[in-house]
Homo-oligomer: A and B are copies of this chain.
Amino acid sequence: MPDHTHDPQQAPPLADQLRSRGLRLTNQRQRVLAAVAALEHGTPEEIGARLRADAGPGGAAPDTSTVYRTLELLDRLGLVWHTPLGKGAPVYHAAEHPHLHVVCATCGKIESVDPGLMDGVAERLGADLGFRVDVGHVALSGTCRDCSAAAGTESP
């Protein structure tokens, strides 16, 4: 049972995805996707900020509502993935190089991890519950090395 859904060549670059669905390739959609890819991972707000920065002083950046709409679209197309993190801040990342997110609950730092880490768990859930884990959406929270050390040092 192959099909790891990880083939780089299998996912055409936006334009094809759009055309095949009768959707249109717009400047905004390209820019949003580029911003998501440029940012290792970012919230809709951060992505909007990046777009504004990229646009420069005179240029116009896509509207906030467009960013949201586009993010949702790209997600449906499978070109980006989002992961709910702490509070109201879903983090988006490009689907090109899949990875897990590991988030420190103390300092908020986000680290990326090889998705292969979850292979065992995924297999087991599949066998056990028939549940197909979506590795692109996994976020593990906990405490990073630095914060662990800091906490341990307080009362040795």
Contact = CB atoms under 8 A, between A and B. Distances in A.
Interface string A123-144: 0110001111110011111111
Most central of A113, A131, A141, A145 by chain B CB within 10 Å: A131
Which secondary structure characterizes the binding site on chain A?
A: mixed
Contact of A129 (B85, B111, B138): B111
A135 to B, nearest CB: 8
For the complex formed by this chain, how many copies does it contain in all?
2
Contact of A144 (B86, B131, B137, B143): B131
Interface of A: 84-88, 90, 102, 104-105, 111, 113, 117-118, 120-121, 124-125, 129-134, 137-145, 148
